[in-house]
Amino acid sequence: MQPDVNRAANSAVAIGMQKLLSDRRLLLPVLLTAVAIAVGSVLIVVLADDASVGGSTAAPRTQSAADGSVTIDITDFKYEPATVTVRAGSRVSWVNNDVAPHTATASDAFDTGTLEKGDMETVTLEEPGTYAYICEFHPFMKGTVVVE
C-alpha cells in the first residue's frame, strides 16, 4: 500500500513539474519579447537623444532664456553652459558648485566677485553685445554671455 501511495505522490509531483515546465515554455517567449521591447525602447531614446545634441559634447552649448533669466552652473572648473544667449535686460546668475572659489569676470561689463562653494551672484545685462568672461582665479575657465 505504501509504495502505491508514494508512486501516486511521485506522479502527482511529476505532473506538477511538467505543468510548470510547460508554463515556463510559454513564459520564456513572453519574457524575451518583453525584454526585447524594453531594450528597443531604451535604444530608441538613447539614439534620439544622441541625434538631438548632434552627437557632439564638445560644441559650445547655448541656452536661451524665454523668461529673461538664466543660471550658469560652475562645476569642475567649467561654466555650464559655457555660452548663454539672453535678451537685453535679462538677469544672469552664476552658482558655484565647486569647493574652489571662482568668479565670473568680464572686465568691461560685469564681475560676480568671489563665489565660494554654494554662492550665487546675479547680474543684469542691459547692453546688447557679446561678453567673454573668465574666472580671475583660473583664467583657463572661459564663458560667454551674448545679450541680444
Residues found near Cu ion in the complex (CB under 5 A): 102, 135, 137-138
Minimum distance of Cu ion from residue 121's CB (angstroms) = 13
81 cis-preceded (ω within 30 degrees of 0): yes
Residue 83 or residue 96: which is nearer to Cu ion going by CB? 96
Of 83 and 90, which CB lies nearer to Cu ion in the complex structure? Answer: 83
Q: Tally the residues of the chain.
A: 148
The three three-digit cell numbers of residue 96, written as one number: 558655484
For Cu ion, the closer of residues 90 and 141 by Cβ is 141
**If you search the block for the grid coordinates 582665479, which residue do you land on?**
137
Q: Name the minimum Å distance from CB 92 to Cu ion.
A: 17
Please report how close the Cβ of residue 108 comes to Cu ion at its closest, in angstroms.
19
At 4, phi and psi to the nearest 5? Answer: -60, -40
Q: How far is the CB of 27 from Cu ion (least distance, A)?
A: 57
Residue with cell 541680444: 148
Nearer to Cu ion, 90 or 103 (CB): 103
DSSP label of 61: P
| Residue 87: partners with Cβ closer than 8 Å, 6 or more residues away | 65, 68, 147, 148
CB neighbour list of residue 123: distance below 8 Å, 6 or more residues apart: 91, 92, 93, 110, 112
Which is nearer to Cu ion, 97 or 137 (by Cβ)? 137
Residue nearest Cu ion, CB atom distance: 135
